[in-house]
Amino acid sequence: MTVLLEVRGLRVVFDGFAAVDGLDLTVEEGELRFLIGPNGAGKTTLVDVVTGLTRPVAGSVRFAGRELVGKREHEVVRLGVGRTFQTATVFEELTVVENLDLAACFRMPLRSLLRRRRGVSDEVAAALAETGLTALADRPAGVLPHGQRRWLEIGMLLVQRPRLLLLDEPVAGMSRAERERTGELLHRVAAARTVVVVEHDMEFLRRYARKVTVLHQGRVLREGSVAEVQADPEVREVYLGR
């Protein structure tokens, strides 16, 4: 297997407090990896570093053999890393298909944008199908229920053709049915790409996660299947036993 993301000795300090403290993590190409851990474990900070939002004081983040530390957010996106945030960010006044079209523009050179003909491109149609939003293509994003907004957001990443998607709590606030569709969507997305998901919902993890990394106090505490990490006494103490 090819290593796609390799984090070594990562350290992030906020006002003298080490939010990430000597973190090592390896993700192979094609994995669907879940990151869990108690509040404040450093999960979002890790994602922020990978995406160029936060600078570490030490360590490296290699993506497809290139160093990401020191790169700006748009450079990281261009190299093939896409991310969603804890709250959905879609353009409410635009329709579903317009949101996807706009997101597809983000990665295009300006000249090819000028030459673009109107109509739904193949990749936008594919993203609509992959996220299950084809029938809602012309609906304004602002009227979509929470779950569909989050799927649209994932679609907006897909049209930018990332090799790695980082999703921060994608099923938070979703109904049971929406969580199930999201689990299936994540597996579909990961069939052709690499996906790292920050997620708390244990029932969801038991159902959809194969490999889980447990973070605690800014570093990796355990890694393994959901059953393995759940059976670990240290993990139970810091996280699952709450």
Give the whole-angstrom CA distance, residue 70 versus residue 76: 10
Q: Does 19 bind ligand ADP (CB under 6 A)?
A: yes
In the complex, minimum distance from the CB of residue 203 to ligand ADP, in angstroms, rounded to a whole number:
19
Q: With respect to ligand ADP, which residue has the nearer C-beta, 55 or 187?
A: 55
Residue type, 12: V
- Alpha helices, H only, the chain: 43-50, 73-79, 96-105, 110-115, 122-131, 146-158, 176-190, 202-208, 226-231, 233-235
Decide if 61 contacts 67 (C-beta within 8 A): yes
Neighbour tally for 225: CB within 10 Å: 13
- CA–CA distance, 210 with 78 (Å, rounded to integer): 29
Please state the closest distance from residue 42 (CB atom) to ligand ADP, in A. 4
Nearer to ligand ADP among residue 17 and residue 106 (C-beta)? 17
Q: Residue number with the shortest CB distance to ligand ADP?
A: 19
The single residue among 9, 14, 87, 142 that binds ligand ADP, judged by CB under 6 A, is 14
Residue with Cβ nearer ligand ADP (2 or 39): 39
- The pairing of strands 164-168 and 194-198 is parallel
Which range, of 12-20, 62-70, 93-101, 172-180, touches ligand ADP by CB under 6 A? Answer: 12-20
Q: Contacts with ligand ADP in 166-195 (CB under 6 A)?
A: none
Residue 62: other Cβ atoms inside 10 A: 16
Closer residue to ligand ADP in complex, CB, 38/132: 38
Site for ligand ADP in 24-63 (CB under 6 A): 37, 39-45
Q: Which spans of this chain sit near ligand ADP (rule: CB under 6 A)?
A: 14-15, 19, 37, 39-45
